[in-house]
Chains A and B, each alone.
Chain A
């Protein structure tokens, strides 16, 4: 749907090139990209396979610049034409504003074209769009080839509504810009139509001989019952092929047409009734679903609230417990500290007491020592006095070293023994080594003098 961005002053429209495989949709875009003035075009993006077949879509943004203060942009998309790419083809149709149906004019491809058109209607229905309400242009491509269907035949099969069409040779660019201009105009007109609904819409009648398989069978039958009118040529001022109420009323005034119209209206009524019933059913179902959803949500909310409450309470309790525990721990800590301090004091006191006792003991010992000393002194004095009385004075014995220079004690051990026996211990013998060890080098007669 047309996007209007007031902040950027932008209007964006999505135009999709639809059609069977190899009909020239991407070629259209390539030509536009090649020939459009550089300031108007963006980059052409092609999501294609290695063999240059469109896989998802081609995308070309076109900016035609400001129109009445709004920068007007067209986004051109192509769809993958191959039948088995329907999944991606359908996605591209989302939010489409205008369609260009590119027809491969070759006679052999007629069936493919019809199939593609049916596929387009199906895909649009899945999005809830109605083909008749979308601006659409038909482009008969490849008109330069030799074995092409005649224009009349193609119109009959593919364009029962008499939409505006263009003949084109996309490779050479013939008709490409004409198509683009026409669809752009239709899209913008439609956008205006949305904001200012147009009352008048022209009736486009359909050829009675038209036996194309493009329309769903019920609609086709109805269309076949319609009065004959020649297929119109390219009519740019008729954007939508649609009957208006006035037309129906006018038909009713003509008696020979009345029965057809009545039949038509009868069917329409039936269909209307069915639709209404269906709509009611769906509305009811939706309501039920919504109610269920609301109930479920309410429950969920209650559950959530309850859980939150519980959680909060639990948290509170936990915090309280934690605080209590913390307080207990603090108290314990304090008590412990106090105990420690007390213990330490007691220890100190004990130590002091022990020290004092020790000191006392030491003092006592000192006293006893002094006492004993004085006693000893007394005794020695006594002893001296006794010895002076007992032993008369004589020469004082002095200790002399003999000629070996050794003290007497060693002389007592060694010298008398050696001199008395007048033998020398054999050198190298045990005794000799022992003597040598005791006496040292002085024992050697060479060293003696």
Chain B
């Protein structure tokens, strides 16, 4: 029997590799670059804060006045909002709505797609205008897309982050924390 064929039947290694490539791994130098771009956006557009969120709902990084915000929940909800918008786009026959804008009484939110899998979020108030935010967000988005694209390319070389003891020590912690 040819093992090559049996392989594809039982454990599709290609798919596993593909899934592995999908996982989001971010290094310090990239974060530094991203932060710089976000600060530029905040200063240029006079926004309150800017967040970079993964489409899966993880917060990648944030800048500006975010102390009063629950950024974890915000990231998850924004990603959800964006996901549902994309689904709406699909239903109306549009490939993707790349920009979303929520207008409030005081604060407004500008959400734009960055590259393939990240979302750039800018929160701002009436000190600035939507036009300014839009302009700088577009500029920033392009910059971030190149940074993330490079990160994605260089990621394959990176060494594994989690070693064999990780799951075990995590289990100990879990047992400590979650006791009925």
Interface residues in chain A, defined as those with a beta carbon under 8 Å from any beta carbon in chain B? 1-8, 11-12, 14, 32, 35-37, 40, 42-43, 45, 47, 56-57, 59, 61, 64-65, 67-68, 70, 72-73, 75, 77, 87-88, 91-92, 94-95, 128-130, 133, 173-174, 177, 180-181, 184-185, 188-189, 191-192, 194-197, 201, 242-245, 248-249, 252, 261-262, 264-265, 268-269, 271-272, 275
Contact = CB atoms under 8 A, between A and B. Distances in A.
13 contacts: A1-B56, A3-B25, A7-B26, A8-B61, A14-B58, A42-B73, A47-B80, A130-B15, A191-B23, A195-B20, A196-B163, A196-B164, A268-B9
A42 B173 contact: no
Given A1-B24, A4-B23, A91-B87, A64 B174 contact: yes
Given A1-B56, A192-B164, A195-B161, A242 B10 contact: yes
B74 to A, nearest CB: 10
The B contact surface, by secondary structure, is helix
Given A64-B174, A70-B161, A177 B9 contact: no
Contacts of B27: 6-7
A269 B24 contact: no
Given A36-B177, A188-B167, A268-B5, A1 B16 contact: no
B11 A242 contact: yes
B19 interface: yes
Interface string B81-121: 00110010000000000000000000000000000000000
A7 B61 contact: yes
A185 B171 contact: yes
A191 B25 contact: no
Interface in B32-54: 32, 54
A316 B180 CA distance: 80
A269 B7 CA distance: 10
B8 interface: yes
Interface residues of B, number: 60
Contacts of A8: 31, 61
B10, B77, B87, B165 pick with most chain A CB within 10 angstroms: B10
B79 to A, nearest CB: 8
Interface in B57-82: 57-58, 60-61, 70, 72-73, 76-77, 80
The 8 A-B pairs at the shortest CB distance, nearest first, are namely A195-B160, A95-B56, A7-B31, A1-B23, A268-B9, A177-B178, A3-B24, A91-B83
Given A64-B177, A185-B167, A268-B9, A252 B1 contact: yes
A92 B79 CA distance: 10
A261 B9 CA distance: 12
A271 B80 CA distance: 36
B1 to A, nearest CB: 6
A195 B163 CA distance: 8
Given A130-B12, A181-B174, A245 B162 contact: no
Nearest to B162: A192
B180 to A, nearest CB: 6
A64 B19 CA distance: 25
A67 B160 contact: no
A268 B8 contact: yes
A163 to B, nearest CB: 17
Contacts of A3: 23-26, 54, 56, 58
B157 interface: no
A45 B73 contact: yes
A271 B9 CA distance: 9
Contacts of A264: 9
B178 A6 contact: no
A242 B57 CA distance: 30
B166 A188 contact: yes
Contact of B56 (A14, A45, A57): A14
A252 B2 CA distance: 12
Contacts of B84: 56, 88, 91
Contacts of B174: 64, 180-181, 184-185
Contacts of A271: 9
Contacts of B76: 45, 59, 61, 75, 77
A92 B165 CA distance: 30
A423 B145 CA distance: 132
Contacts of B177: 36-37, 40, 64
A57 B16 CA distance: 27
Contact of A67 (B3, B77, B173): B173
B178 A94 contact: no
Contacts of A268: 5-6, 8-9
Nearest to A191: B162
Nearest to A175: B180
B41 to A, nearest CB: 18
Contacts of A180: 174, 178
Contact of A6 (B22, B28, B58): B28
Contacts of B153: none
A68 B165 contact: yes
Contact of B80 (A57, A189, A201): A57
A1 B22 contact: yes
Contact of B10 (A70, A128, A243): A243
A195 B167 CA distance: 13
A276 to B, nearest CB: 9
A244 B163 CA distance: 23
